[in-house]
């Protein structure tokens, strides 16, 4: 059975084959000319990270008495939705990889 770690390693090697050096965009990456699936995943992760930081900022402002509770709840909901989207895409990628690995050669 394929483990999530093996799927992640396979995804990383596929990105290297496409010319993308760093999958999370945390370093200098040579993006594909057309912008592909790697760029889409990078943008989704960046959005999820940004939403999480916004939620944390709103919570800190609420504790300090400088923000409304509805703003905090909205920011947390947006962060949760972004994270669920990233996890759903991850699950589908792993599922597709597992299906490919089951194909006869």
Amino acid 47: pLDDT: 87
0.75 surpassed by pTM: no
> pLDDT per residue over 15-63, tens digit each?
666 566 554 544 444 444 567 888 888 888 888 899 999 999 999 999 9
Q: Tokens standing for 8?
A: 């992640």
- Using a CB cutoff of 8 Å and minimum separation of 24, what contacts does 43-47 make? 44/82, 44/85, 44/86, 44/89, 45/86, 47/82
Nearest-5° Cα angle at 60, 58 to 64: 115
Q: Which H/E stretch holds residue 6?
A: helix 4-18
Q: CA dihedral in degrees (67, 70, 76, 77; nearest 10)?
A: -160
Q: Tokens standing for 32?
A: 């594909």
Nearest-5° Cα angle at 49, 6 to 67: 150
Give the span between the Cα atoms of 33 and 20, in whole angstroms: 10
pLDDT at 98 exceeding the cut of 90: yes
């Amino acid at each position: 059975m394929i483990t999530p770690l093996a799927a992640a390693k396979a995804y990383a090697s596929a990105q290297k084959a496409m010319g993308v050096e760093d999958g999370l965009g945390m370093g200098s990456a040579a993006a594909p000319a057309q912008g592909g699936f790697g760029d889409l995943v990078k943008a989704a992760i960046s959005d999820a990270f940004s939403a999480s930081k916004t939620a944390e900022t709103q919570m800190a402002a609420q504790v300090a008495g400088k923000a409304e509770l509805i703003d905090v709840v909205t920011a947390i909901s947006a962060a949760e939705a972004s994270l669920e989207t990233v996890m759903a895409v991850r699950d589908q990628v792993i599922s597709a990889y597992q299906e490919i690995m089951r194909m006869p050669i």
